[in-house]
Amino acid sequence: MRRSVQHESRARSTSRAHRLQLAVAGLRGTICFHAPLKEYTSFHIGGPADVLVQPADVEDVIRLSRQTFEQRVPIFVLGGTNVLIRDKGIRGVVVSLAKLRAIREEPGSVLYVEGGVGMPTLIGYAIRRSLAGLEWAAGIPGSVAGCVVMNAGTRLGEMKSSVKAVRIVSPKGTVIDRQAESIDFAYRRSTLPLGIVVGVWLQLKPGLKSDIEKVVKDYLRFRRDTQPLSLPSAGCVFKNPKNDSAGRVVEAAGLKGAAVGDACVSTKHANFIVNQGQASARDVLSLIRKVRAKVARQTGVKLELELKLVGQA
């Protein structure tokens, strides 16, 4: 009986490995099996992916989507920020859009931006062309696609205020263009068709380059003064409670500096958990439970996660 179970387990493993090979066959981008994902996240935490793919372009994304669908292989798009990957990593195909980094200017102060463009790169591009409307995103390290999916925002604004339309590759490899009016944007989320965001049209407006630069520099200075940018983190851990601040609630509970292993509640901003060296996902999750329990006990507030949890424990 034991030999039969072992044989079945090996057969399933071989079948899964074969389907993974077929899922990524023929792609022109970068393919890496058993890739350590902590190198691709702002938290520097996370186990391996079965296979990490960086598609060469949108055509590569289309092919990958079709093949993963045909082979029934799960697919996860890695945004890099606001995510905690559990210690056993992610099964299936993990996609990085890092090679999709084209930007083009269209009439009417519109930018078409591929999903892998980093927000700092995009803001720099907009400043050089004297286009205003993205100043709110100064200091956000994530990709354009990630910011659309989670409707990223700061105290100055949100992604939804700039989005004109979104281009998505569906699980079957169909390209879908969806106008902003048909997308439900809410606090730190958006309701999009299933698939991979490969591009977004942003409606900006002409402005004075010096004025745009001043707003961006002032807000970057504010972030440096109030957030722990020198240590790895995933940004804000908890959503703000109604009419309150998650950071204020956590600090009021006396939890600044609380730690589990190398995971620590920042002493600079209590809604950040920082990686002081070799923190594991288990450390972070244990600290999150500790913070939520104490805050609930002392204040009755039930903190909701803004951080996205993915992968196997």
Tell me the pLDDT tens digit for each residue of 76-113: 999 768 899 999 999 999 999 999 999 999 999 999 99
Going by C-alpha positions, the residue among 145, 136, 188 that lies closest to residue 167 is 145
Same domain, 203 and 232: no
Question: Which residue ranges in the chain fall short of pLDDT 70?
Answer: 1-14, 80
pLDDT value of residue 187: 83
pLDDT value of residue 155: 86
pLDDT value of residue 313: 78
Same domain, 122 and 190: yes
Give the structural domain span for 189.
Answer: 103-211
What is the CA angle 40-45-48, rounded to 5?
65
pLDDT value of residue 11: 54
Same domain, 90 and 108: no
pLDDT value of residue 189: 87
Give the domain-ending residue among 56, 78, 95.
95
Give the domain-ending residue among 211, 236, 258.
211
* 222, part of any domain: no
* 77, part of any domain: yes
CA–CA gap between residue 159 and residue 297 (Å, rounded):
34
* 221, part of any domain: no
* 194, part of any domain: yes
pLDDT value of residue 5: 46
* 217, part of any domain: no
DSSP 139-150: T--SBHHHHHHT
Same domain, 54 and 144: no
Region label for 173, one of left (φ > 0), alpha (ψ between -120 and 50) or beta (otherwise): left
pLDDT value of residue 142: 87
How many domains does one find in the chain?
3
* Residue entry with tokens 């023929």: 26
Same domain, 270 and 172: no
Element (DSSP H or E) covering residue 69: helix 58-70
Same domain, 73 and 151: no
